[in-house]
Amino acid sequence: MGQTAGGLPYPEGTEPVRDGDNAIKALADAMQARGVGNRWAAERQNITTGSTGIAIVAFLQPFTSQPVVAGLIEWTYGNVFITIDSTQNGGVNGAAFYLRVARPDGSAVLNAPVLISYIAVGGA
């Protein structure tokens, strides 16, 4: 079996056809190991924080593993910190991520409307 410059296996012309299934499996295993089984999602949502200052942002289709999330958050109501929360309610998981809105003194901003645009990449 040959290998591409990037290390992916492929069947060579001199190999018997009966070994083709092994070559395809080797290629599939190599691609899976490189994370090719990932997908991405992007969305824009209007959300409102609850009584804890945290809002749950649910993915339209859950991921099979914890995705990486990057968000652009729009807020027009003064001096606050808006973070993708890593400590409340599990932070980011395959189904959702949690957004926390707090004042500079750390107190939660309750019932706050937030517009978030995000992209997430994780297991398909």
Which tens digits make up the pLDDT trace of 85-106?
655 555 788 889 888 888 889 8
Which tens digits make up the pLDDT trace of 110-119?
998 888 899 8
pLDDT at 90: 57
The whole model's pTM is what? 0.64
Query: 3-state class of 11 per DSSP?
Result: coil
pLDDT at 35: 62
**In the structure encoding, which two tokens stand for residue 84, read together?**
């993708």
- Residue ranges of domains in the chain, CATH in brackets: 2-33 (no CATH), 38-123 (2.60.40.3940)
Which tens digits make up the pLDDT trace of 30-79?
776 766 667 888 999 999 999 888 888 999 889 988 888 888 887 777 78
With beta carbons less than 8 A apart as the criterion, state whether 91 and 98 touch.
yes
Distance CA(7)–CA(80), nearest Å, equals 48
pLDDT at 48: 92
**Residue among 40, 101, 110, 35 nearest 70 (CA):** 40
Q: How far is CA 3 from CA 23, 26, 81, in A?
A: 11, 11, 50
Q: Is 28 or 112 the better-scoring residue by pLDDT?
A: 112
